[in-house]
Amino acid sequence: MSLGNDLASIRKEKNLSLEEIFEVTKIPVHTLKSIENDTLLDSGNESKTYLRSFVRSYAKALKISDEHILRALESTEAGIYDHELYKLTHPESQEEEYSVNKDKVEVENSAPKMVDPELTSADTYEEEIQQNEKIESVPKASSAEKPTVSSINWADMSKKVYASPSKSKIGLFLIIFILITGFGTAIYFYGGDFVAMFSGDDSDPEQVDSDNQPTEPNTDTPVISDSLNQSITPQAEIIEDPTPALPETLTVTLYAAYDKLEPVRVTSDLNGRTNPFWMDQGEAYYFDFVDSLQIRGQYSRFLVLFNGNLISNPRQNYFDANLNSIVLTRDILSLPEYATQADSEFPSNIGIPAPDSVIYRIQF
């Protein structure tokens, strides 16, 4: 099976429709269908990184780990894909196949025994009796070619075991020799530890004089209190970084909140082209990029959002005079106030209604 077929099978197992996948990923349904019928990755008009981002977003909506989908994409692009994604997401199928092969048993051939036809042709009653005697004299093939528990003669086996007492004595002496050698080696290397373990004298000989009186402590060595030790070596606290890691492809929302954009120009590093977009008031567009996105035109008429968080003052904070554009980078969107996913797709505390419609721009 192909990668697209495996994704379609996993989606159907989860009882999800393409429309439900669209609600999560904002990828148009016709693009999702092209992923499942394996025509998207064959498109030569877009970059591989841009096309791979759609497949990874689709797999993320199916709760497939990024590591598994990347391995499947590499196999597909190399032309050696062999059902890897389904095997990675369904490891129980391989275990079931192994158990079926493991439980196979050999069935003994129960075909009837063949008798020489010359022994079955008789013209008279006396010849028939003679042939029956020949048949009975033919040695029968042993049906117990492989020994079983019921076919083993345990009494005969015990006679064989005890038939040579000299060998059993040699084995016993060999075991005793190995035990003594091991015990002696342990005493040689760890004897001091054993003595210290069972010794009841905990006194330090360096602190007792010839009259068994304790000597004065050495005043040259400074004594550090426990509280000082604790202040010098505080216990290190492990602080986890609450900021989540950003995905490979980032999506920014451009919202014509205050008036029409006639037009606004957007440049994504996915293809390096600058395209104009005419947007009516109340419309919002999604734009994808990897490391940087440039926006130019009517800055006072639109808002920019990421992860449902409003990017504050983009014109004042992120304007690049050389490019004459607002430049949003991965480092900027990695800040905690932007990288953390908001509770809703549009903030409700800025006094502006949510967009009337949102369009996913897959071409720039």
Residue 340, pLDDT above cutoff 70: yes
What is the reported pLDDT for 126? 52
What is the reported pLDDT for 266? 93
The distance in angstroms from the start CA to the end CA of the chain is 33
Segment 155-164 mean pLDDT: 54
Q: Give the E-state strand segments of the chain in sequence order.
A: 250-255, 261-268, 274-279, 283-289, 292-296, 303-306, 309-310, 319-320, 325-329, 357-360
Q: What are phi and psi of 13, to 5 degrees?
A: -60, -35
Q: Cα–Cα distance between 343 and 307 in angstroms, integer? A: 9
Higher-confidence position of 156 and 260: 260
Question: In this predicted model, what pLDDT tens digit does every residue of 106-130 receive, in sequence order?
Answer: 444 444 445 444 444 444 445 545 5
Which segment of 92-101, 238-247, 307-316 scores lowest on mean pLDDT? 92-101
Residue % of the chain over a pLDDT of 90? 30
Q: What is 3-100's CATH superfamily?
A: lambda repressor-like DNA-binding domains (1.10.260.40)
Domain locations in the chain as residue ranges: 3-100, 250-360
What is the reported pLDDT for 298? 92
Confidence of residue 233 (pLDDT cuts 50, 70, 90): very low
Other Cβ atoms less than 10 A from the Cβ of 221: the count is 7
The rounded mean pLDDT for the chain is 75
Q: What are phi and psi of 283, to 5 degrees?
A: -90, 150
Residue 1, C-beta contacts closer than 8 angstroms, at least 6 positions apart: 9, 83, 86
What is the reported pLDDT for 125? 44
Segment 200-210 mean pLDDT: 47
Segment 203-223 mean pLDDT: 49
Write down the pTM of the prediction.
0.36
The answer to whether the beta carbons of residues 288 and 249 sit under 8 Å apart is yes
- Sign, Cα dihedral of 130, 133, 137, 138: positive
Q: Cα–Cα distance between 38 and 58 in angstroms, integer? A: 13
Neighbour-count burial of 359, counting CB atoms closer than 10 A to its CB (0-12 exposed, 13-18 middle, 19+ buried): middle
Q: Reduced to 3 states, what is the DSSP secondary structure of residue 48? A: helix
Residue 95, pLDDT above cutoff 70: no
Residue 207, pLDDT above cutoff 50: no
CA 90 to chain centre: 12
Q: Cα–Cα distance between 303 and 252 in angstroms, integer? A: 10
Residue 5, pLDDT above cutoff 70: yes
Residue % of the chain over a pLDDT of 70? 62
Confidence of residue 323 (pLDDT cuts 50, 70, 90): very high
Q: Cα–Cα distance between 40 and 23 in angstroms, integer? A: 20
Segment 286-294 mean pLDDT: 92
Confidence of residue 134 (pLDDT cuts 50, 70, 90): low
What is the reported pLDDT for 318? 94
Higher-confidence position of 114 and 275: 275
